[in-house]
Chains A and B, each alone.
Chain A
Amino acid sequence: GDSVTQMEGPVTLSEEAFLTINCTYTATGYPSLFWYVQYPGEGLQLLLKATKADDKGSNKGFEATYRKETTSFHLEKGSVQVSDSAVYFCALEGQNFVFGPGTRLSVLP
């Protein structure tokens, strides 16, 4: 079945550092790919999405590119802020909606 793998956390960075959170997937067909963010005490919010190969999703300085050849959708941000501290979930929608386990990011001032 479909699955999503994310890098293990927690990830701890200093403010203004470069962020990469790796995500790879296994799916039949051509799934849509998503990144969700969960701030402390809140539900999940959609951060960005991509629906076909080579699409780039972007929002709030975050970017991710749908790479079909490597089955990846890595999340990147050039300069993180303390307010980016949250748990980030990679997800796909193929036959079912599947979430990765989440990666906790802590950004220190």
Chain B
Amino acid sequence: DVKVTQSSRYLVKRTGEKVFLECVQDMDHENMFWYRQDPGLGLRLIYFSYDVKMKEKGDIPEGYSVSREKKERFSLILESASTNQTSMYLCASSLPGGELPQHFGDGTRLSIL
């Protein structure tokens, strides 16, 4: 089975801190994604990557950056955390092509104080 592992289930940080959320997948998937999930808004795509060192902006990239130095790892970075970035963050991976679904990690619930 595909496993997508997010490094933390719960994280509490302070406003202005630089925050790193890590995600690792073990199935050699080319595609990796970061979403945030908020009540009433569903999942919103922050960034995605189709290959090592490649990144593409999603729908809400402002205030975030990403890093994909290795195929299995996709990091989300909050450059200067703000309270409106308190959310559930979900990482996903997939192979290219429309018939194969995205596989999700269990999520990181991030609170910015």
Q: Which residues of A contact B (CB under 8 A)?
A: 31-32, 34, 36, 41-46, 49, 51, 89, 93-94, 96-97, 99-102
Q: List 25 A-B contacts (CB under 8 A).
A: A31-B98, A32-B98, A32-B99, A41-B106, A42-B106, A43-B4, A43-B90, A43-B104, A43-B106, A43-B107, A44-B43, A44-B92, A44-B104, A45-B104, A46-B101, A46-B103, A51-B98, A51-B99, A89-B43, A93-B101, A97-B33, A99-B35, A99-B43, A100-B42, A101-B42
What is the bound-complex CA distance between A51 and B98, given in angstroms? 8
State the interface size on chain B (CB cutoff 8 A).
20
Q: Which 6 A-B pairs have the closest CB atoms?
A: A101-B42, A43-B104, A44-B104, A32-B98, A99-B43, A43-B106
Q: Which residues of B contact A (CB under 8 A)?
A: 4, 33, 35, 40-43, 45, 90, 92, 94, 98-99, 101-107
Residues of B within 8 A of A49 (CB): 99, 101
What is the bound-complex CA distance between A44 and B88, given in angstroms? 12
Q: B89: shortest Cβ distance to chain A, in Å?
A: 10
